[in-house]
Amino acid sequence: MKKKDTAPSEGKISTTPFPKSTKIYVAGSIHKNVKVAMREVELSDTVDSMTQKRSKNQSVVIYDTSGPYTDPNKTINVHQGIEPIREEWIMGRGDVEELDEFSSEYCRLRMADKSLDHLRFDLKRKPKRAKKGQNVSQMHYAKKGIITPEMEYIAIRENQKVLDAIRLTKQHPGQSFGASIPDTITPEFVRDEVARGRAVIPSNINHPEAEPMIIGRNFLVKINANIGNSATTSSIEEEVEKAVWACRWGADNIMDLSTGKNIHETREWIVRNSPVPIGTVPIYQALEKVNGKAEDLTWEIFRDTLIEQAEQGVDYFTIHAGVRLAYVPMTAKRVTGIVSRGGSIMAKWCLAHHKESFLYTHFEDICEIMKAYDVAFSLGDGLRPGSIADANDEAQFAELETLGELTKIAWKHEVQTFIEGPGHVPMHMIKANMDKQIEVCGEAPFYTLGPLTTDIAPGYDHITSGIGAAMIGWYGTAMLCYVTPKEHLGLPNKEDVRTGVITYKIAAHAADLAKGHPGSQHRDDALSKARFEFRWEDQFNLSLDPELAREYHDETLPAEGAKIAHFCSMCGPNFCSMKISQEVRDYAAQKDMDEQTALEEGMKEKAAEFKDKGSEVYL
C-alpha cells in the first residue's frame, strides 16, 4: 500500500486557468516593483429579450490565491520553485544576512545524507537570517512607521479593484460587532493594523515566493487548508499537488501537518512551490526526532526544529505554549480529553516530568528565533474542546487566558501573533469564544478550526464546521481553518481538499457579507444578475467552483444549447420563475412605457376600486 517517496513530476501539478479569466497584475504606487496578482472574469453582454439590444457587463475582479499556476504566461517548473517575488524587497531592507550553511543541526544532517538526494529539492539560494540585533518582522517595521512593499501589496489586493461607487453604496450595511473596517484599505491602514497587533502578515524572509496576504478582523476573512503526509499514507508529490490545488480553489494559507516520512524534504518542496504562506506545528517533527516518545522531547531538540523550519521558510508556527501543567488535570473528566495533537504531546510531557511545559518556560527564547526570520506565532489551543460536551470549559478558557498573556510577551518582542480557537462548540456558545478572545488577547487575530456545531455527522464535518466557521467569521475571526469531509475518519484526498476549501470560502465570504466588508457583495450581485438573465456561462464562471457548476448543469441538460436556454433546467420552460419575472418586466415594456410607471398605472386603476371596498379584502 505505501509508495516509496520520490521527487514530484511536472505533469502532476494543476495549471489550467479558470474559464474566461485573465490574470492581471496591478502595480503599486509607493513601491513600483509591487505587482498584485488578481483574476479578472470577463462577462458576456446582457441581451434584452424584447428588443434584442445588447448592453455590456463590467468584468469582475476576484481575489486570487492560485499564484502563477493559473497564469498561462508563466512557466511552471516544480524543480525550480516559483518566482521569489519578495526577494528584492527582503534584501533591499539591509537588515538580513545570507548564511553559508543552515543553522540547524538536523537540517545539516539531512543535507549530508546522500540517500535522500533523489527526493531533495535543489535550493540554489542561501538561507537568510536577521543580522545580529535586528528584528525583521513586519510588526517591527510597522511600529517604526515603515510601509513595506508587503503592506502596499496587501492594500491593493484587499480592495480587489472594486470601484468606490460599488464598494460604498451598492450593498447592505453590515453588522461587524465593533470591527473597524475602513471604506478603502490603504497601505497606511495596513501598517497601522500590523503595528497595533490587530493584523498579521505571515512573511518569513526565507519564503520570498509567497504573495503577501493579511490576517486581521478588519480585512477579508481568510481560510487555511491543512495538508501533509502521515505515517500511514501519501507521498511528496501528492502533498505538493495538494498545496497547489488548495490554493487554486482559494486557500489563503496552507499548513503542512506532515507527520510521516521525510517531513523535512516534503516541506521544502511545498514551501518552494507555494504562492501562499505556510504554517507548521513544529512539535510534530520534534516528536518524530525522538521516535514518538513525548517524554523524550527537550527544549534543545525543539529549538533546533524551529530554526530548521524557519530557515526553510515556514511563515507561522503553531506553538502550544498555553498548555500549562496546571491545566492538564482540568481535562481528566472531559468526554473527549485533549484532542489537539500538539496539546496532548505537551500534556504528556508535562505529566511525565511533573514540570511546566518547556514551550512556556522558553517562550522568550522562541520569540528571539521568530523575529530573526519573521515567523509569526499561531498560539495553539492545545486544550480546545473535541466534543460539544466539552465546549467552553474551564480548561479551554484557562488556556486562552495564558495565550493572552503570551501574546503580550510576543508583542513586546515585536513578533507577529495570532491565536488559535476551537473546536467543537454549539452555535449559541460560539460568540463567547470570540468575545473572550478579543478581550484577553488584545485584539490579536483569531484563527479557528470550525467550530463544529454538532458531533453527529462524521463524513460531513466540513458542513457541521462550516456553519460554525461562517458564524465565528462574522463575529470577528480573521482566519478559518478548513475541515474536510474526512475529518475524524481519514486523510483528505484531493477532492476532499477541494470540498473543504470551497466550503470554507463560502463561510469566509458569508462572513464578509455579514460584516458588511466594502465591496464584498459585488460578486454576488454580478452572479445573481447573470443567473436572472440566463447567462449560464457567466453564472458558472463567477462561481467559486466553475467546473462543478457546469458539470451539474450538464447532468440535467447536457446540450450546449441549454447553456443559453432561457429557462432553468430544474423546472422546464413553463415553471421557471426567472422566466416569468422577465415576462413581467417585458409585459410592462410592451405597453411602451417605463415598467415602473406601467406597474404603478396598473395599481392606480385598481386603487380606486379597492378603496371603495376598504384596503383589505378580509376585514
Annotated binding site for substrate: 226, 255, 284, 320, 340-342, 381-384, 420, 447
Q: Is 336 a residue that touches a copy of itself (CB under 8 A)?
A: yes
Within 13 Å of residue 499, how many CA atoms lie on the same side as its CB? 16
- The annotation places the binding site at 226, 255, 284, 320, 340-342, 381-384, 420, 424, 447, 488, 568, 571, 576
Instruction: Report whether 488 contacts 461 (CB < 8 A).
Output: yes
Residue 355 found at the interface with a copy of itself (CB under 8 A)? yes
Q: Which stretch binds a copy of itself (CB under 8 A): 7-15, 16-24, 82-90, 598-606?
A: 598-606
d(CA 86, CA 244): 19
CB-based contact 370:317 (threshold 8 Å): yes
326 contacts a copy of itself (rule: CB under 8 A): yes
Closest CA to 349 of 298, 308, 387: 298
455 is a contact residue toward a copy of itself (CB under 8 A)? yes
408, with CB counted inside 10 A (0-12, 13-18, 19+), is: middle
Is residue 260 a contact residue for a copy of itself (CB under 8 A)?
Answer: yes
Q: Tell me the HSE value of 479 on the side-chain side, using a 13 A CA sphere.
A: 30
Listed in sequence order, the DSSP H helices in 211-258 are 236-249
Please report how close the Cβ of residue 93 comes to a copy of itself at its closest, in angstroms. Answer: 29
Within 10 angstroms of residue 308's Cβ, the number of other Cβ atoms is 26
CB of residue 333 vs a copy of itself: minimum separation in angstroms?
Answer: 7
- 412: closest CA among 377, 439, 452? 377
Smallest gap from Cβ 52 to a copy of itself, in A, equals 20
- For a copy of itself, the binding residue among 114, 456, 560, 592 (CB under 8 A) is 456
516 is a site residue for a copy of itself (CB under 8 A): yes
For a copy of itself, which residue of 69, 121, 245, 363 counts as binding (CB under 8 A)? 363
CB of 478 to a copy of itself, least distance (A): 17
Decide if residue 72 touches a copy of itself (CB under 8 A). Answer: no
491 lines the binding site for a copy of itself (CB under 8 A): yes
389 touches a copy of itself by CB under 8 A: yes
User: What number of CA atoms fall less than 13 Å from residue 236's CA on the CB side?
Assistant: 27
Least Cβ distance, residue 460 to a copy of itself (angstroms): 6
Q: Where are the alpha helices (DSSP H) in 483-563?
A: 494-515, 522-532, 536-542, 546-556
* Residues 279 to 308 in contact with a copy of itself, rule: CB under 8 A: 284, 287-288, 292, 294
572 binds a copy of itself, rule: CB under 8 A: yes
Residue 156: alpha-carbon gap to chain centroid? 18
3-state secondary structure of 54: strand
C-beta closer to a copy of itself: residue 26 or 463: 463
Task: Tell me, rounded to whole angstroms, the distance of Cα 368 from its chain centroid.
Answer: 27
By beta-carbon proximity to a copy of itself, the closer residue of 99 and 335 is: 335
Site for a copy of itself in 157-216 (CB under 8 A): 171-172, 174-175
Rounded CA gap, 484 and 472, in Å?
A: 18
For a copy of itself (CB under 8 A), the number of binding residues is: 145
Of 144, 571, 590, 593, the one binding a copy of itself by CB under 8 A = 571
CB of 16 to a copy of itself, least distance (A): 17
